[in-house]
Amino acid sequence: IVSDPISDDGLNIFYENNIDVIDATNSIIDENYEHIPTANGWVIRSGTTINASIIKKADKLAVIGRAGVGVDNIDISAATRKGVVVMNTPDANTISAAEHTMALLLSLSRNVSNGHHSILNGKWDRHRFIGSELRTKTLGIIGLGKIGREVMHRALGFNMNIIGYDPFVKEDMLRSDDIELRSFEDLVSHSDFITVHIPLTKETKGLFDYKCLSKMKKSARIINVARGGIINEIDLAKILHENKIAGAALDVFENEPIEKNNPLLSAPNLILTPHLGGSTK
């Protein structure tokens, strides 16, 4: 079963090895999906959730392949109990996600989205949208895995000061000339820009709630190209309406596609993209 879009090159690997492929990209995937009991393998991206109810009915399933990094949309415990191997591709979209982070970082700092919409509305607000140079600004990186480190390397090229938080990384694993490790609280309160690169877990869900967001500088901006739900969307919308931070950019959301009544859709100083972080040719 392939239930999320992947490239023809990827599909051809299956065809060349005489594997029957069931295209489920436009199907409703739940425990009643007809091909679950007979599937030997399943390929997904972020659009499909494979929960315990689905795995329970997958009597012949041997492997789930996640074309991407995060596996929070797979019930790992249920898969393990059933003897189903779960694999991901941690390097596949590292550069894409890091570059999209930089795109949002630059767009926020220079009011690209606001300027664009201003011109479309017949205005010329050159003096209204005063930008902020990245040079000498402090970038706080939450999560120093593959993507977080790629963002760090690119931000250093803009002569930014980099601070980071990652409980699984020690000082001697990084060059002190590149980055300084801080506590989570210290990073939140001292960063001019914060970028999130951690998985969605019980511990990280709602990590950036109203209380946490309130501790950011009023001139600071936050970016999430990791997983929806790490930033509480209702709280972020409230913070932006109250002008307690300067802006935010999100590529991921708690529910995707984003719901029409999501308060973020009416929040100011916000850039939204439809989960494009890993979407490059």
pLDDT along the chain (281 residues), means of 10: 94 96 96 97 95 97 93 95 95 93 98 96 94 97 96 98 95 88 98 96 96 98 97 98 98 95 97 94 83
Q: Which residues contact 184 (CB under 8 A, 6 or more apart)?
A: 142, 165
233 counts as catalytic = no
256 counts as catalytic = yes
Q: What's the pLDDT score for residue 170?
A: 86
Q: Which helix (H) or strand (E) holds 181?
A: strand 180-181
Q: Taking the mean position of all CA atoms in its chain, how far away is CA 105?
A: 14
Q: Is 196 exposed, middle or buried (0-12, 13-18, 19+ CB in 10 A)?
A: buried
How many Cα atoms occupy the beta-carbon half-sphere of 266 within 13 Å?
A: 7
Residue in 66, 197, 221, 275 annotated catalytic: 275
Q: Quote the CA–CA distance of 134 and 131 in Å, as a whole number.
A: 10
Q: Quote the CA–CA distance of 90 and 162 in Å, as a whole number.
A: 24
Order across the sheet with 63-66: list the strands.
41-44, 63-66, 85-88
Using an 8 Å Cβ cutoff, are 2 and 64 in contact?
A: no
| pTM for the whole structure | 0.87
Crossing angle for the helix pair 94-109 and 146-156, nearest 10 degrees? Answer: 50
Using an 8 Å Cβ cutoff, are 42 and 20 in contact?
A: no
Q: Taking the mean position of all CA atoms in its chain, how far away is CA 240?
A: 20
Q: What's the pLDDT score for residue 69?
A: 85
Q: What's the pLDDT score for residue 92?
A: 83
Q: Which helix (H) or strand (E) holds 42?
A: strand 41-44
275 counts as catalytic = yes
Q: Which helix (H) or strand (E) holds 109?
A: helix 94-109
Give the end-to-end CA distance of the chain in Å, rounded to a whole number. 22
Using an 8 Å Cβ cutoff, are 4 and 48 in contact?
A: yes
Residue in 31, 185, 242, 256 annotated catalytic: 256
Q: Quote the CA–CA distance of 75 and 215 in Å, as a whole number.
A: 34
The label of the residue with tokens 């309130």 reads: 214
Residue in 45, 149, 197, 227 annotated catalytic: 227
Tell me the backbone φ, ψ of residue 162, rounded to 5 degrees.
Answer: -110, 125
Residue type (1 letter), 104: L
Q: Quote the CA–CA distance of 14 and 1 in Å, as a whole number.
A: 11
Q: What's the pLDDT score for residue 14?
A: 96
Q: Which residues contact 270 (CB under 8 A, 6 or more apart)?
A: 240, 247, 248, 249, 250, 264
